[in-house]
Amino acid sequence: MAAAAIPPVFDTDFAPGTGSPVEVATGVLRVAAPNRGPYTFTGTNSFLLGGDPLALVDPGPDDPAHLGALLQAIGGRSVAAILLTHTHKDHSALAPRLKAETGAPVWFGGRHRLSRKPRPFEWNAVDGASDWALEPDRTLTDRDILEIGGTQIEVIATPGHCANHLCFGLPDTGRLLSGDHVMGWNSTLVSVPDGSMADYLDSLRKLIALPYRHYLPAHGGAIEDGPDYTRALLAHREMRNAQIAEAVRGGARRLGELLQAIYPKLSLALVPAALMVLKAHIEYLEDAGIVSVRRGVTGTTIRLA
């Protein structure tokens, strides 16, 4: 019998030093935004890379205090580019104001878009959190190499959390800015049709195969062994797929029944996120031919295929 997968160990003991620049590696400063919350943990981590000029990754929410903290951390240096891991507003909303202050162009993986076409009457739960209007000055693509202020940055497309998600590798240091794709404090929210569980799992496998070892997420603290931790996240998601299939085999047919079977002790505050992730897993299992799903005005019914 194969050994059970070791679940990821989440690190919720993190002091962000909100508003102050923290050197997390040579040539890498973190400035945490004051947007603590159930989906953002201690706030969004903005990163300043390189010397002069520098690159700024994920300016964060449109918050005057955070704008001031970033400008202070930048000092008199020039900003060659503002890079976005993706276009959820907790990462991107400050970009226009920061561009106006610094003159730096905004580069990311293309305008916000859904991972698939929405079904009739389907509600996108993260529509209001998405930055639909923001347009890139340059659209970054997988394996682009950027040279900014003596720092080499590799662009790595990692769709899943949303369709235009990117990670940024620093080849000279073995570090990876992992955005919301891999975080140490919690598993990543995947909400269809904005995101895709199939894409998310494929992107986890992609990162595992890359040489980057030390991850710097956009929320929470650093992950010392990124590939090992990512393997645990992948195993956790695969275990969840198996749990859902087993619950359906045992008679669960509705989302509420699956919620009770999979998350029996979940607090009410976390129910919306759990339902989003359940829907993403169910869609994955449906596409894999493991379950069949009937969607109607009275709700969703799930059965084994």
Inter-residue contact 248 to 304 (CB < 8 Å): yes
* Per-residue pLDDT at 299: 84
Residue 73: phi and psi, rounded to 5, are -70, -35
Residue 14: phi and psi, rounded to 5, are -140, 125
- Strands (E) across 22-162 are located at 22-25, 28-32, 45-49, 54-57, 79-83, 106-108, 138-139, 145-148, 151-157
| pLDDT, tens only, 260-299 | 999 998 889 889 999 999 999 999 999 999 999 999 888 8
- Residue among 177, 157, 153 nearest 53 (CA): 153
| pLDDT, tens only, 35-84 | 999 999 999 999 999 999 999 999 999 999 999 999 999 999 999 999 99
Residues in the chain: 305
* Per-residue pLDDT at 7: 80
Element (H, E) at 303: strand 299-304
Q: How far apart are CA 12 and CA 55, in angstroms?
A: 28
Tell whether pTM > 0.75.
yes
Inter-residue contact 140 to 109 (CB < 8 Å): yes
4 pLDDT band (50/70/90 cuts)?
low
- Average pLDDT taken over every residue of the chain: 96
* Per-residue pLDDT at 3: 44
Q: Is residue 222 over pLDDT 70?
A: yes
Inter-residue contact 56 to 104 (CB < 8 Å): yes
Take residue 1 and report the two structure tokens written for it. 């019998």
| pLDDT, tens only, 111-122 | 999 999 999 889
Residue 23: phi and psi, rounded to 5, are -80, 115
| pLDDT, tens only, 173-214 | 999 999 999 999 999 999 999 999 999 999 999 999 999 999
| pLDDT, tens only, 158-168 | 999 999 999 99
Exposed/middle/buried for residue 259 (C-beta within 10 Å: 0-12, 13-18, 19+): middle
DSSP tag of 160: S
Take residue 287 and report the two structure tokens written for it. 């596409």
Q: How far apart are CA 14 and CA 265, in angstroms?
A: 25
Residue 173: phi and psi, rounded to 5, are -120, -10
* Per-residue pLDDT at 2: 39
22-236 CATH fold: Metallo-beta-lactamase; Chain A (3.60.15)
Q: How far apart are CA 304 and CA 69, in angstroms?
A: 53
Residue 151: phi and psi, rounded to 5, are -110, 130
Q: How far apart are CA 255 and CA 299, in angstroms?
A: 8
